[in-house]
Structure 1
Amino acid sequence: MFHARHLLIFVVGLVLATPLLASPELWRGEWPKTDFSRAAVPFEEILSGGPPKDGIPALDDVEMIPVSSETRLADAEPVMVLELDGTEARAWPIRYLTWHEIMNDEVAGIPVAVTFCPLCNAGMIFDRRLDGQVLSFGVSGKLRHSDMIMYDRQTESWWQQALGEGIVGEMTGKTLVQLPGWMESWGAFRARNPDGLVMAEPDWPRRYGQNPYVGYDGLAKPLLYSGEMPPHAIEPLSRIVRVGNRGWPLERVAEAGRLEEGGVIIDWTAGQASALDRARIAEGRDVGNIRVKDTATGRDLVHDVIFAFAFHAFHPDGQWMLGK
């Protein structure tokens, strides 16, 4: 098993090599189609995460099966969920996203990218349509502020997953539309959607159900991150419910059970295992389920549950909803 402490040793070497790695001249061989003359971020902020381009293989046109046919998942296992009007609710298990990070799929005629960055705990679903074309995404192998950099296969531009924004290449400055998906336990999804669909196990030689980042969300500091730590003495690897540029500490939400403020309703219920704790994802400690709705309409709101350091890095002017 590949433990976080082993990853840390590997990371030290990468960090020391950063000045040499952060150079378009060294990247061009692997990225001949990327327009490095266009960039929205300093190249020195971009690190190698270890794997090369497509070393973590994104999946396309994944197979979905009826909820009633799924027998592998434990109730507490986390899944990414999308429930759109007029179509079956769908779930993509984190046990697969941990090893592939991006699923290019289609829901009710909408091309979607279901994404998960383990180092930031960022699970986000994007509409792949942009400016009259449909993009498909792969994993670049690069990181910025410890967050996955995706790339689109059409222009090989680089995208910051935590923001859905193009940061290098032809698509620099473009923004993907994030859809109102969320992460919850398989048991909660199944109970609410007995006629829904769930992603089938991919035909890849991976240890699905195992967590290659054992103990990661219990570390004092994130890996591959050299930016500022969160303010207000907030632990960098604590979870934050992000809605726009506002962030609610998960501990505060869990203690309350329900928070209603700023036009937002956030509900917490027990039952979801952390995907970044124990060796088996299903045995991770209970971090609970989050549901975020608009107070006025009752509709699901776009949000994610991200580590505090990443919220601070990508939303430096964000509002910390501390209830004080």
Structure 2
Amino acid sequence: MRNKIFIVGLVTVIIAIGVMVTNGTKHSVPLDEIIGGGPPKDGVPPIDNPKFVAIAQADSFLSGSDPGIALDINGGQRFYPFQILVWHEIVNDTVNGKRVLVTYCPLCLSGIVFDPLVNGQRVEFGTSGKLWNSNLVMYDRKTDSLWSQILGEAITGEMTGARLAVLPSDMMGYENFKKTYPAGLVLSKETGAARFYGQDPYGDYYTSPGTYFPVGKKDDRLGEKDFVLGIIVNNKAKAYWPEAVKKAGKIEDRFEGKTIIARYEKDIDAVRLFEKKADGTVERINPFGAFWFSWVAAHPDTELLK
């Protein structure tokens, strides 16, 4: 379909399907939906030169089910505790030679790891101080474009419409990380910032009703703070409810012509998604994990397996 241009009497110009320009600003979501979250740009300071400690040292400040993001990339095994990420939200890291962008939005319980490759170049990201549908909005330090975490996509600026690839990671408790990756490394509290690590400024937000900021669409198929794993296939969205998968152990599903396997991994107490190929082999899918309200606000027409 050809791009369409409407300019007569309008300040908003549609330059491509899903892309608009308003008063010279390129964007893919309504600009009035992007709101301030309180802190200024980089007021929630990203970690640019992360330090790591061995598990023996991390035992002094982590225990049991303390949650975080675990990843295993090129043999590099890392754990990023939420008690640190809640104060920083972004870690620009390199794991065994591969650049990674570790992101966490406490408002959505969304811990997502991206490949920070933009137009063939590795770039770093910061916190914009803004939110879209109560979700983290980042900016890239090359073009200053704004990026939605839950979309993995630039929503305003030069890079509007560009997407980041999601990398494999798991949300798990510290004890499970220790058992699975005994030689793994843990993000250190030595971040260069003075923060009360171990104290969560969001308190009981994760289990109490309601959100702090407005969202565009609500959907009662699940509780707003039920956690889901969302995927995009052929520009169609579907969410998988881990609680249903845990109960079944394994679920095989068809979505957009693909066979999707949702499997509960008991050893890490987490659900992983896979695509089953025609030859019987399976390939891991890297989903967007988040509270239901966040996923459905970004993808109002999403399907749901529960």
Equivalent residue runs for 1:1-324 within 5 Å: 37-71=25-59, 72-84=61-73, 86-201=74-189, 202-232=191-221, 234-244=222-232, 245-262=237-254, 263-268=259-264, 289-295=270-276, 296-322=280-306
Deviates more, 1:165-174 or 1:247-256: 247-256
Offset at residue 45 of structure 1 (A): 0.4
In 2, the alpha carbon distance for the partners of 1:215 and 1:316 equals 27
Contact 2:170 2:270 in 1 (8 A): no
Offset at residue 93 of structure 1 (A): 1.1
In 2, the alpha carbon distance for the partners of 1:264 and 1:138 equals 34
Q: Which secondary structure does the structure 2 equivalent of 1:44 belong to?
A: helix
Unmatched 5+ residue regions in structure 2? 1-22
Offset at residue 89 of structure 1 (A): 1.4
Contact 1:293 1:301 in 2 (8 A): yes
Q: Structure 1 residues 168, 107: closer, same or farther in 2, change over 3 A?
A: same
Contact 2:104 2:110 in 1 (8 A): yes
1:77-99: CA deviation from partner (whole Å, max 9, x where unpaired): 11211112x42211111111111
Structure with bigger RCO (C-alpha 8 Å, 6+ apart): 1
Q: Which one has the bigger strand percentage?
A: 2
Identity of aligned residues (%): 35
Q: Structure 1 residues 293, 259: closer, same or farther in 2, change over 3 A?
A: same
TM-score (normalizing by structure 1): 0.78
Partner of 1:32: none
Q: Which secondary structure does the structure 2 equivalent of 1:190 belong to?
A: helix
> Which amino acid in the other structure matches residue 187 of structure 2?
M
In 1, the alpha carbon distance for the partners of 2:206 and 2:248 equals 22
> Which amino acid in the other structure matches residue 270 of structure 2?
N
Offset at residue 36 of structure 1 (A): 5.5
1:230-279: CA deviation from partner (whole Å, max 9, x where unpaired): 143x211111122332112233223324333333333446799xxxxxxx
Unmatched 5+ residue regions in structure 1? 1-34, 273-287
Offset at residue 315 of structure 1 (A): 1.6
1:126-149: CA deviation from partner (whole Å, max 9, x where unpaired): 111221322111101100100010
In 1, the alpha carbon distance for the partners of 2:142 and 2:300 equals 31
In 2, the alpha carbon distance for the partners of 1:132 and 1:228 equals 34
> Which amino acid in the other structure matches residue 107 of structure 1?
V
Q: Which secondary structure does the structure 1 equivalent of 2:218 belong to?
A: coil
Contact 2:28 2:155 in 1 (8 A): yes
Contact 1:185 1:271 in 2 (8 A): no
What is the aligned length? 271
Contact 1:98 1:118 in 2 (8 A): yes
Partner of 2:10: none
Q: Which one has the bigger helix percentage?
A: 1
TM-score (normalizing by structure 2): 0.82
> Which amino acid in the other structure matches residue 260 of structure 2?
V
